[in-house]
């Protein structure tokens, strides 16, 4: 089995979380390390489509086995928005504070606050494509709570929990999160092909 995989992300939080979740002897290589400094296109209308697009881009251009992940927040009362627009919900600046403020404003008079995070990982290993999905159900809090994590963590309360993701440490979050669940499947797959 190949011992190196490029992780097609420039998000340092994701690299840290994934390094903690992955229990294999595979070395994660950053985009910077392979000289990929450009913004990788993310123009598809599904989370899976975007994950595949990012992995395919790196594979086609750099000819390296790689994986990408894409995550979206789906809020039932907003017709599953922001979905593929999760990063840029409040505008192109990808500002987490503005995104959370917009969600809280839109849900101000909503009783149904149910939401879920979905992660799809696309792996291209020696030219073959594999995908892995992870979902965590939960709800949107009435106000921000906690300072850990990133993105929408302060307003997302996972099912059967009282703390928001931003009030949990990395380990507690990874044990139940969308990304944690998707990467556990990914890990199992990598272990089985060794
Ligand atoms: P992308 O997967 O990099 O496109 O991220 C989409 C958006 O989802 C970004 O705005 C992130 O901040 C947000 N996001 C991704 N993962 C998480 C998470 O674990 N917690 C909170 N927000 C997240």
pLDDT one-digit tens code per residue, 58-72: 999 999 999 999 999
- Local confidence band at 103 (pLDDT 50, 70, 90 cut-offs): very high
pLDDT > 90 in the chain, percent: 77
Q: What count of residues does the chain have?
A: 194
With respect to CATH, is domain 4-192 assigned 3.40.50.2300? no
Q: Give the per-residue pLDDT at 94.
A: 94
Angle at 108 between CA 106 and CA 112, to 5 degrees: 90
Q: Is 17 in the pocket of ligand 1 (CB under 6 A)?
A: no
What are the residue ranges spanned by the domains of the chain?
A: 4-192
pLDDT at 1: 54
Band the pLDDT of 33: cuts 50, 70, 90.
confident
Maximum pairwise Cα distance, the chain: 53
pLDDT of residue 22 exceeding 90, the answer is no
Burial class (CB in 10 A: 0-12, 13-18, 19+), 158: buried
CA of 31 from ligand 1 middle (Å) equals 18
Indicate if ligand 1 lies below 6 Å from the C-beta of 74.
no
Atom 12, ligand 1: residue with shortest CA distance: 151
Q: Are the C-beta atoms of residues 24 and 46 closer than 8 Å to each other?
A: no
- Give the Å distance between the CA of 2 and the centre of ligand 1: 28
CA of 100 to the centre of ligand 1 (A): 12
Top mutation candidate among 72, 73, 81, 168 for ligand 1, by most atoms within 8 Å of CB: 73
Q: How far apart are CA 19 and CA 29, in angstroms?
A: 11
Concatenate the DSSP letters of all residues of 151-172 into one string.
Answer: TTGGGEEETT-SS-GGGS-HHH
Among protein residues, the one whose CA lies closest to atom 13 of ligand 1: 151
Closest residue by CA, ligand 1 atom 3:
70
Report how far ligand 1's centroid is from the alpha carbon of 1 (Å): 30
- Would you tell me how many other CB atoms lie within 10 Å of the CB of residue 95? 15
> 150 in ligand 1 pocket by Cβ < 6 Å?
yes
Res 2: pLDDT = 55
Catalytic residues: 70
Mean predicted confidence (pLDDT) in 106-126: 96
């Amino acid at each position: 089995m190949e011992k190196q995989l490029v992780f097609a992300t420039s998000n340092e939080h994701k690299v840290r979380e994934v390094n903690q979740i992955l229990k294999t002897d595979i070395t994660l290589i950053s985009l910077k390390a392979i000289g990929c400094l450009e913004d990788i296109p993310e123009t598809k209308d599904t989370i899976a489509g975007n994950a595949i697009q990012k992995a395919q881009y790196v594979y086609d251009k750099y000819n390296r086995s790689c994986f990408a992940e894409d995550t979206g927040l789906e809020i039932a009362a907003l017709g599953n928005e922001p979905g593929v627009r999760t990063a840029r919900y409040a505008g192109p600046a990808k500002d987490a504070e503005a995104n959370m403020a917009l969600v809280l404003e839109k849900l101000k008079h909503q009783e149904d606050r149910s939401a879920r995070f979905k992660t799809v990982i696309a792996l291209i290993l020696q030219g073959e494509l594999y995908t892995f999905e992870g979902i965590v159900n939960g709800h949107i809090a009435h106000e921000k709570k906690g300072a850990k994590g990133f993105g929408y963590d302060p307003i997302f309360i996972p099912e059967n929990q009282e703390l928001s993701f931003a009030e949990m440490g990395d380990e507690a979050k990874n044990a139940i999160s969308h990304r944690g669940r998707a990467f556990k499947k990914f890990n199992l797959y990598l272990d089985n092909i060794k």
